[in-house]
Structure 1
Amino acid sequence: MSFDNEERAALRSSVRDLLGKHSDSAAVRRAITTGHGYDDALWSRLCEQIGVAALAIPEKYDGVGASLLEVHVVQEELGRTLTPSPMLGSAVLAAQALVLSGDDDACARLLPGIAAGSVAALCWAGPDGWSGFGVTASGETLSGTASYVLGGDVADVLLVLTSEGLFEVDPAADGVTRRRVPAMDPTRALSEVVFDGVAARRLVSPTDLVDQLRTVALVALSAEQVGAASAALEQTVEYAKSRKQFGRAIGSFQALKHRMADMYALVETARSMSYAAALSGTHDDAVVAKVYCSEALQNVAAEAIQLHGGIAITWEHDAQLYFKRAHGSAQLFGQPRDYLAELATAAGL
């Protein structure tokens, strides 16, 4: 099922073509060993030739002024290839934190750079995850540790979300310590940022900023999960057509056809859930997309491992990378079980 109009179809084609040329499996594996954790040259191409970082930034801040649906398209395509990039952390999370804050001065200063490809990072979660904040504010001084920060170790600007609101911090400021941390998913670099009495600039931030930002984050993540699930399914089908046992392609066996049909159903329903959330923009739909797409990708990736057999768990094969992305992304922005409890409460159960 396609949710693309003519413009989104053209955007998808452009992103897919560029990634096809510069982000195959070998390129992804090279990118994760770099100091940035992504291919800086590819990110520059995506920004300069297609403008992916500028999509959801208003035109008055040098952006495109597109909707979350266009961001969805890019996230899907990046998820298909597992391309490491600052898209989710900088162009979505950090940029939308600024846009949703309504702080015109901060937006005018920072968003044009982000739209051009400069990397910003949002420091939010603490060691226990995204249910609280890792950093506390006393006036305009920040202390604490932000965990699971996307791009925090290489960002040109840090935005810090606290219970007292949103702050801007110079990464070179005294008291800031940044480091890359080991992650389950090698294609997504995570970092830890420590603030030890750091001077910060307080930004305007509405009381519902966290809820608004969480909604955007969950939709963007679900789009990436849909892309990854779709690619894992396609690779499994192609393998089933070529792998032979007892003189027949294993894809001709009825039992395996049923399993791949179930994978297809998961991918398509996940796609519908994700696009429904992008279209509505509501928190409840975003939560449903987060839960469903996380579980769909985990199931599809697990089936891909099973249907490929022993080769799928070797480092040389990409199936294990999709499996790690599935489980890593399921934990990002909160575990599905936590959101299930939220949905149950909202339903009065």
Structure 2
Amino acid sequence: MQQNNTVKEFILLGLTQDPTKQKLVFVIFFFFYAGTVIGNLLIIVTIKYSRTLGSPMYFFLFYLSFADLCFSTSIAPRLFVDSLSSEKVISYNECLTQIFALHLFGAMEVFDLVLMAIDRYVAICKPLHYPTIMSRRVCIVLIVIASIGSFLHSITQIILALRLPFCGPNLIDHYCCDLQPLLKLACMDTYVINLLFVTNSGAICSCSLMILMTSYIVILYSLRNHSVEGRRKALSTCTTHIIVVLLSLVPCIFMYARPPVTFPIDKTVEVFYTIGTPFLNPLIYTLRNAEVKQAMRKMWHIKNISESKRLI
């Protein structure tokens, strides 16, 4: 239940207070967000309409791009508005909504990365049983479970936030609403709530990273029995996924699996996590994945032929 609050809105201090730097922030991160939208939508559309990208790996990549797109959208538009505004005011309800969206799609991304690792483990270590184990129905069930888990995690963040009373000040030294910055403004002892927060968010990031790294150690060990060409192809796919995992989970662990201590680099790490990672993920998957690039070229070629016929 929500506590009695005298604070009905918060003021975000943003990334900088310098007007010139604020305009620079707008330009730079608008470029990153535009690239995020275009890149992830391109992957989503390519996988949706390509006949060659029907394997479980691309099924999970589809949802990873969707989660990245929504995750970045929960932060970036607000950052743009605030970078051009002198008053960065956000209401209490808007703040809770942003926390909900941030953790919903952030957890969805983490869980989807785990599912992609499971898919690679089955494909490489149990190739004969792969079509049965990772059937379409199983993949859909796994995505539904991951979505439910993400929702429960996000709801937990909101429940913890609703337990915090705010009686002033209302200045959040951040560019977005998250539970950790709000804990510093609460008019109560937040030790227990912070412990629950770290246990929840921090455990998801840390346990997911351990599961992922363990799975890839097993995968790499099993590759010793594969052919040279099989090892090359498997290593290429696994390397791409490991890069994405490190880009996503290392900043996540830094932010959420630690005591409530503020570091000067905090905003930089979270900007990279919320804006940079969703921008880099589609680049990594398209630049290092020959099948995705080939499918994109084929779709573009078909589109050009259709356009030419229509003009004729």
Short-chain TM bin: 0.3 to 0.5
Structure 1 or 2, whichever has the larger Rg, is: 2
TM-score by length of 1: 0.29
Larger helix share, 1 or 2: 2
| Higher relative contact order, chain-length normalized (CA < 8 Å, sep 6+) | 2
- TM normalised by structure 2 equals 0.32
